[in-house]
Amino acid sequence: MHNKGPAPQFHDGSNLRIGIVHARWNHTIIEPLVEGAKAKLLECGVKESNIVVQTVPGAWELPTAVQRLYAASQVQSASAGSGSSAGDLLGSSTADLASLTTEATSTAAFDAIIAIGVLIKGETMHFEYIAESVSHGLMRVSLDTGIPVIFGVLTVLNDEQAKARAGIIEGSHNHGEDWGLAAVEMSVKRKNWA
């Protein structure tokens, strides 16, 4: 067992619907993180058709995307059977929304959304501004909506640090796995605490 991250807890995710929104900046790091998160969701029993993946350009866009994705899923859930879809409401490209309109068998609102991004510090203040705003933004969306928004944003100083947190370097731990488990655990606990 790895000694980084929380001691894992496995909960039954078979009745959950989970969103993943990821940035496309630093995609070679992003991809294994998304795969790690998805692998743990599936291991917990979340149905593949109930995992909806959306993308945005960069980490800065994550809070708005999470907010919109959740709102759209709520409307879709409320109007289930009326023919409207979260895809229409998000106003995203057809290709990007393929998973929403064809794969998603459930019309329930998302139980949790995982926001994934990789911010690598450069020579300017960009990193600090984006990292701070995105973390505050994601927490705000979580508190405003009441659903778990999982903070899957790496804020690192260089490529090596990012790779070491994405399971790319031999023996390193993929933090995406923790995020998948956190999404299931918090979704189940939120239902129990309602």
Q: Which of 126, 136, 189, 191 binds ligand DLZ (CB under 6 A)?
A: 126
Identify the three-state secondary structure at position 147: coil
Strand-pair category, 112-120 with 149-156? parallel
Q: Are 173 and 167 in contact (CB under 8 A)?
A: yes
Counting every residue, how long is the chain? 194
- Residue among 111, 123, 119, 120 nearest 135 (CA): 119
Instruction: Report the distance separating Cα 118 and Cα 76, nearest Å.
Output: 30
With binding defined as CB under 6 A, does residue 61 bind ligand DLZ? yes
| 58 makes contact with ligand DLZ (CB under 6 A) | yes
Q: Check binding of 59 to ligand DLZ (CB under 6 A).
A: yes
Residues marked active site are found at 126
* In the complex, least distance from residue 62 CB atom to ligand DLZ, rounded to whole angstroms: 8
- Phi, psi for residue 171 in degrees, rounded to 5: 80, 0
> Which one among 6, 81, 91, 122 touches ligand DLZ, defined by CB under 6 A?
122
Which residue from 111, 184, 121, 130 is spatially nearest to 158, judged by alpha carbons? 121
Site for ligand DLZ in 127-186 (CB under 6 A): 130
Q: Check binding of 119 to ligand DLZ (CB under 6 A).
A: yes
Cβ distance 44 to 185 under 8 Å?
no
- Pick one of 117, 148, 152, 176: the residue that binds ligand DLZ (CB under 6 A): 117
CB of 182 to ligand DLZ, least distance (A): 20
Give yes or no for residue 23 binding ligand DLZ (CB under 6 A). Answer: yes
Residue nearer to ligand DLZ on the CB measure, 29 or 44: 29
Determine the residue type at 98. Answer: A
Site residues for ligand DLZ per CB under 6 A: 23, 25-26, 57-61, 117-120, 122, 126, 130
